[in-house]
Amino acid sequence: MLNFSEAHLSNLAIHQVGNKSNDEGIIVSEQEVSVNGTIASLLTTYFTKPFKPQEFYNFSHESDLNMNEVYTYVKSIFQNKTSLQLQSINLAKHLYEQSIYPQIKSGELYVAYFDNCYLDDELTEVVGIFKSEKKETFLKVFPEGKSFGVSRDDGIDINKLDKGCLIFNENASDGYKVLLVDNTNKGEDAKYWKDFFLNVKPQQDTFYHTKNYLQMCKTFASEAFPEADRIDQLSLVQESAKFFREEETFDKLNFHQKVLLEPEIIDAFENYKEDYQERNHMQIYDEFDINNDAVKKMNRVFKSVIKLDKNFHIYVHGNRNNIKKGYDEESNMNFYQLYYKDES
């Protein structure tokens, strides 16, 4: 659980970082920003509200963790928070070097230090790194004599954080505990923040293991049996999700017995798992505690729906024996038969 209700924003530095491919440069502030009272409270909410304590990451590097730039700069801040201004400049320069994609917009970089934060009821300090890119147009209504005037201004919507990460002063030797947000870039463009600037990898905890296994079950149903009936594919995905909802721990043999059932399906699944691990450069574990947050997140992805042309959607939630597929030679079209007892 993440709790910033008593957090204190003690240090804040702001710089502007442009797009390097457009030669926009950076504008570095000479000193920290002094904030307190209402502004400090608003900024704390703006910076921390979007984060959910679910999927954690760790800083990484292929050869030596200390060669990860952000990790090194943040480590110096944790050791002495008066160095935040200097290290924030280093962070701005490092971010600029990664801002080489044409789609990346210039924006303000914020580096903040929070005291009195709680993660899973443990008191900790947090360094936050955030970037605002999108500007919103606001209307100002103000008194003007015996009437009112209206003007416009551009600013930042404090309810919409564009990019950010929270770094918790825990597990420093393993790359700290890191939470991420990126609401502006998707796909390849998102790599510049997560992979190139921060260089983080998912923390291998129960959330990680649960999410990966469920994702593998989903792709197995479609990739390993592309010729299978769509109903059978959905049934396998549903049974996998049901298993994870009902069990507290995952055990491979138990999963085989309750979900896969048939020896040929079990063999195909285990062979697919080996290939899946190699393709995705990850290890899939056979035993772990099931994380309910990961199950809930993946359930939103597991859409049990059959789309028929642009006319119908069939949502399959129950017994697959109550729906059958057929072919009508007279109309030269496929059809589904649905069996039910009650209508509501």
**Successive 10-residue mean pLDDT values, the chain, 344 residues:** 90 95 93 90 93 91 94 97 96 95 90 94 95 88 90 85 94 94 73 92 93 90 66 76 92 92 89 92 92 83 65 65 75 79 74
Token couple for 207 = 């959330």
Task: Report the amino acid identity of residue 199.
Answer: N
Q: What's phi and psi for 221, nearest 5 deg?
A: -60, -35
The token pair at 297 is 């997140």
Instruction: With CA atoms as reference, report the closest residue to 107 among 30, 161, 40.
Output: 161
Cα 284 to Cα 238: distance, rounded to the nearest angstrom: 20
pLDDT in tens, 173-189: 999 999 999 887 666 66
Query: Which sign, positive or negative, has the C-alpha torsion 329, 333, 339, 344?
Result: negative
Q: How do residues 201-238 score in pLDDT, each as one tens digit?
A: 999 999 999 999 998 988 888 787 655 566 667 777 88
Q: Is the separation of the CB atoms in 339 and 322 below 8 Å? A: yes
- Quick one: CA torsion of 213, 218, 223, 224, rounded to 10 degrees? 70
Q: Which two tokens stand for residue 39?
A: 């502004």
Angle (nearest 5°) at CA 61 between 55 and 65:
95
pLDDT value at position 142?
85
Q: Would the pTM of this model clear 0.85, i.e. be above it?
A: no
Count CA atoms within 13 Å of residue 24 on its CB side.
19
Q: What is the pLDDT of residue 318?
A: 60
DSSP collapsed to 3 states, the chain: CEECCCCEEEEEEEEEECCHHHCCCEECCCCCCCCCHHHHHHHHHHHHCCCCCCCCEEECCCCCHHHCHHHHHHHHHHHCHHHHHHHHHHHHHHHHHHCCCCCCCCEEEEEEEEEEEEECCEEEEEEEEEEECCCEEEEEEEEECCEEEEEEEEECCCCCCCEEEEEECCCHHHCCEEEEEECCCCHHHHHHHHHHHHCEEECCCHHHHHHHHHHHHHHHHHHCCCCCCHHHHHHHHHHHHHHHHHCCEEEHHHHHHHHHCCHHHHHHHHHHHHHHHHHHCCCCCCEEECCHHHHHHHHCCCCCEEEECCCEEEECCCCHHHEEEEEECCCCEEEEEECCCCCC
The residues spanned by each domain of the chain are: 2-202, 206-338
Residue 226's pLDDT is: 59
Give residue 50's pLDDT: 92
Are residues 16 and 134 in contact, defined by beta-carbon separation less than 8 angstroms?
A: no
Gap between the Cα atoms of 78 and 11, Å rounded: 12
Report the alpha-carbon distance of residue 114 to residue 136 in Å, rounded.
27
Q: What is the CA radius of gyration of the chain?
A: 25
Tokens of 80: 């002495």
Q: What is the pLDDT of residue 132?
A: 92
